[in-house]
Structure 1
Amino acid sequence: MKIVEIRESTRPISSNIRNAYIDFSKMTLSLVAVVTDVIVDGKPVIGYGFNSNGRYGQGALMRERFIPRVLEAEPDSLRDTQRDNLDPHKIWATMMTNEKPGGHGERSVAVGTIDMAVWDAVAKIERKPLSRLLAERYGQGKPANPKVFVYAAGGYYWPGQGLEGLTREMQSYLDRGYSVVKKKIGGASLSEDCKRIEAVLKLLQPGQRLAVDANGRFDLKTAIEYAKALKDYNLFWYEEAGDPLDYQLQAELSPHYDGAMATGENLFSMQDARNLIRHGGMRPDRDWLQFDCALSYGLVEYLRTLEMIQAHGWSPSRCIPHGGHQMSLAIAAGLGLGGNESYPDLFQPYGGFPDGVRVENGHVTLPDLPGIGFEGKADLYAEMRALAS
């Protein structure tokens, strides 16, 4: 049993939208196929992975360092002999051979993308959905719950949008069954952002909520000004007010906002996440953690992060990952996370759910597909199959 090839391709996910910090007109991602010599149903098992939006393709790092290390390793050194499978933890350790501590933003996306494909292959070899495999191995006796809360992320700024375009977009998400929608702030003035918020709030029915996301735009003074303006809106959360590594800003902001806050999508290691928990003033009774395995060394590292937050009194149910991809859906179902982000219309075909899955009362039910379930989404699988063929 061995990995015989790892293929990588940079793919465009460009869109004429922007948040408070960047536009997505030239956004790319890396698509990866991990080809094994294991035959299931007459075909080689191939695991697939890709990185989340907001970070560009990582092909050079993969080709120069991480892929060669895996392919040059002795196959038996990468095996899980107990289960007659590949061992994601051994493969991760092999990728990180001769890498210094720190430097997480430089390599964590490349490693996390390959790691996703490895886990997809591992679950397929066992002919199980990844969610079930994770529950069996790490769920402490709890079965996977295929019903997962999801929220609709959108509300970006785009030319000619106006309040009409924004409300039309948000209403479309509500009509599709989402109970929580999210929009961007910080890309306009405070007064304009409040008008945009109030326009969306008018659409909401009982049980429906709005979250807002500043994408790290604010200094402390501005973050507090927004907190004071937002406090009476009963938002689902106020997200990433300041720079993701400015833990003191987050800690000093907390006393000014009693509602829920969220951050963590731009922290790329267990160590960075630990610093947030230690120093960021986050409150485990109401706040949300958004660590994204596809950007932060993959599931192997995410398991360490979950262990760390629990040691600090946090529940995995306070984690709702960034990224809107099926990998985090599987993790949420298998490890009891609080839900997952969703991009109903953006960054396709990489976002969204398998074909036929519908949002009902803010939740989706994962189909019983082996691996992560990419094969159940026809437009996405066409891209993956073309890479592997």
Structure 2
Amino acid sequence: MKITRVTTSTMVVPNDPPVSTYYGANTYVVARIETDAGITGLGYTMLVGGMGSRAVRAYMEESLVPLVVGADPLHIGGIWQRMYENDRGIRKKGIPVYAMSAIDIGLWDILGKSVGRPVWHLLGAQTDRAPVYGSGGFLPYTVDQIVAEAEMFRALGCRHYKFKIGRPNVIENVERVRLVREALGDDMDILVDANQRWDLATNIRVGRMLEEYGLFWYEEPVLADNIDQCAEVAMSISIPVATGENEYTRYGFRDLIATKAAQYLNPDIHRCGGFSEMMKISHLAAAYDIKVAPHLVPELSVSVLVAIPNGSLVEVLAGSPEDLWEDMPKIVDGHMAPPDRPGHGMEFSAGAVKRYTVD
């Protein structure tokens, strides 16, 4: 089998309220990988808020597509390595890895379709579903809105919910956590996400003030590049620290692990290098007894989570558009099962392609 053509497109997908008050739309850079066997793989990456999407698509078309056309799509590891090593003038973080991730995701889709099996079987399934945590609670939300959103997820059987901290007034953030804990009780785990908004001293101060509320984790305390400072936060507070959504490839996660920067790692499958690299990251973390809880993209991430020994939770964001996919995996009893169709099992709905494709 050979790859005959890769076509790219861009979809701008508006978010539903209340997420739209924070991010109006997300942009998908799509790669459809065609083969001489008549099998087409769907690859894509998503840029939250859309920033950088044109650069990702340009890198994909100029640097990656010429590498993969003519290659055997089942040689996924070899293609990944060629993409990684091809351009030695650009470090493989950010834009290049977004583009590589999309290609890798499409190749795994082809592999699964070629053998008639879902990707999660090929990755080495350990179970057939994974627990979900609800995610949202953006900074503009009131406490009542946060609690209502958490209760929506609780009604679906979820026992974990994440909301944002990082308002300028430190005490206000602590008070919001106190009120949410009081409203939800002790039978729902609370996760908080600082989204890199504070410096080292503020994070340690806030983290220690929040310890009494029994939080499940404290996410992305400092700027993602400040790995040593993230490790210092992790060593200074009793709440487990989570990070990694803005890290790339096994090499970046190796550094997070080596510095003991977090107890939970949050690789993002469409940023970190696709299925291939997310599995490597997860197995590396497993060797150090570190849990993996992927960032976003639950429709793909769940296929990895059920295939690793150290999987924790699948993130499902409130307000995600319901019309984007032909068949989005559902939350049932607080869990999500990966798609059972050949390949990764996902396809954009025809209506979504028509409505949201801009180029």
- The CA distance in 2 between the partners of 1:348 and 1:31, in whole Å, is 19
Give SS of 1:291's match.
coil
Query: Does residue 1:91 correspond to 2:89, yes or no?
Result: no
Q: Give the equivalent residue in structure 2 for 1:314.
A: 289
- The CA distance in 2 between the partners of 1:246 and 1:208, in whole Å, is 31
Query: Does residue 1:342 correspond to 2:342, yes or no?
Result: no
The partner residue of 2:273 within 293, 297, 302 is 297
**Quick one: structure 1 residues 8 and 28, their matched pair in 2 at CA, closer, same or farther if it must change by over 3 Å?**
same
Query: Does residue 1:9 correspond to 2:9, yes or no?
Result: yes
Are the counterparts in 1 of residues 200 and 229 from structure 2 also a CA contact under 8 Å? Answer: yes
Query: Post-superposition shift, 1:17?
Result: 6.8
Query: Post-superposition shift, 1:124?
Result: 1.2
Q: Give the equivalent residue in structure 2 for 1:29.
A: 28
TM-score by length of 2: 0.87
**Quick one: structure 1 residues 188 and 106, their matched pair in 2 at CA, closer, same or farther if it must change by over 3 Å?**
same
The partner residue of 2:44 within 43, 50, 64 is 50
- The CA distance in 2 between the partners of 1:53 and 1:157, in whole Å, is 20
**Quick one: structure 1 residues 381 and 132, their matched pair in 2 at CA, closer, same or farther if it must change by over 3 Å?**
farther
Query: Post-superposition shift, 1:14?
Result: 4.1
Query: Post-superposition shift, 1:126?
Result: 0.9
- The CA distance in 2 between the partners of 1:14 and 1:384, in whole Å, is 13
1:40-81 CA-partner distances (Å, limit 9, x unpaired) = xxxx3222122244364221111111112211xx43xx35xx
Q: Give the equivalent residue in structure 2 for 1:67.
A: 65
Q: Give the equivalent residue in structure 1 for 2:303.
A: 330
Sequence identity percentage: 26
Instruction: Trace 1:1-389 onto structure 2 (pairs within 5 A).
Output: 1-15=1-15, 23-25=22-24, 27-38=26-37, 44-54=38-48, 56-57=52-53, 58-71=56-69, 74-75=70-71, 78=72, 86-100=74-88, 102-135=91-124, 143-158=125-140, 161-282=141-262, 287-311=263-287, 313-315=288-290, 318-336=291-309, 337-346=311-320, 354-355=327-328, 357-360=330-333, 362-375=334-347, 380=349, 382-383=351-352
- The CA distance in 1 between the partners of 2:159 and 2:150, in whole Å, is 11
Mind listing any 5+ residue stretches in structure 2 that lack a counterpart?
A: none
Query: Post-superposition shift, 1:194?
Result: 2.4
Query: Post-superposition shift, 1:119?
Result: 0.7
**Quick one: structure 1 residues 34 and 93, their matched pair in 2 at CA, closer, same or farther if it must change by over 3 Å?**
same
**Quick one: structure 1 residues 230 and 332, their matched pair in 2 at CA, closer, same or farther if it must change by over 3 Å?**
same
**Quick one: structure 1 residues 293 and 184, their matched pair in 2 at CA, closer, same or farther if it must change by over 3 Å?**
same
Give SS of 1:7's match.
strand
TM-score by length of 1: 0.81
- The CA distance in 2 between the partners of 1:133 and 1:270, in whole Å, is 20
**Quick one: structure 1 residues 328 and 355, their matched pair in 2 at CA, closer, same or farther if it must change by over 3 Å?**
closer
Give SS of 2:332's match.
coil
With 44-53 and 94-103 compared, the bigger mean Cα shift is at: 94-103
Query: Post-superposition shift, 1:117?
Result: 1.3
Are the counterparts in 2 of residues 35 and 46 from structure 1 also a CA contact under 8 Å? Answer: yes
**Quick one: structure 1 residues 185 and 228, their matched pair in 2 at CA, closer, same or farther if it must change by over 3 Å?**
same
- The CA distance in 2 between the partners of 1:262 and 1:90, in whole Å, is 31
- The CA distance in 2 between the partners of 1:147 and 1:122, in whole Å, is 22
Are the counterparts in 1 of residues 27 and 46 from structure 2 also a CA contact under 8 Å? Answer: no
With 149-158 and 177-186 compared, the bigger mean Cα shift is at: 149-158
- The CA distance in 2 between the partners of 1:366 and 1:302, in whole Å, is 16
Are the counterparts in 2 of residues 374 and 381 from structure 1 also a CA contact under 8 Å? Answer: no
Query: Post-superposition shift, 1:247?
Result: 1.7
Are the counterparts in 2 of residues 13 and 348 from structure 1 also a CA contact under 8 Å? Answer: no
Give SS of 2:191's match.
strand
- The CA distance in 2 between the partners of 1:197 and 1:350, in whole Å, is 33
- The CA distance in 2 between the partners of 1:107 and 1:49, in whole Å, is 15
Give SS of 1:238's match.
strand
**Quick one: structure 1 residues 272 and 63, their matched pair in 2 at CA, closer, same or farther if it must change by over 3 Å?**
same
Are the counterparts in 1 of residues 32 and 42 from structure 2 also a CA contact under 8 Å? Answer: yes
Query: Post-superposition shift, 1:145?
Result: 0.9
**Quick one: structure 1 residues 350 and 250, their matched pair in 2 at CA, closer, same or farther if it must change by over 3 Å?**
farther
Q: Give the equivalent residue in structure 2 for 1:139.
A: none
Query: Post-superposition shift, 1:267?
Result: 0.6
- The CA distance in 1 between the partners of 2:314 and 2:242, in whole Å, is 13
Q: What one-letter code is carried by the residue in structure 2 that aligns with 1:370?
A: P
Matched pairs, number:
349
1:101-150 CA-partner distances (Å, limit 9, x unpaired) = 73412311111111111111111111111111110xxxxxxx43111111
Q: What one-letter code is carried by the residue in structure 1 that aligns with 2:132?
A: V
Mind listing any 5+ residue stretches in structure 1 that lack a counterpart?
A: 39-43, 80-85, 136-142
1:299-344 CA-partner distances (Å, limit 9, x unpaired) = 2222332343344x235xx101102332211011122322321124
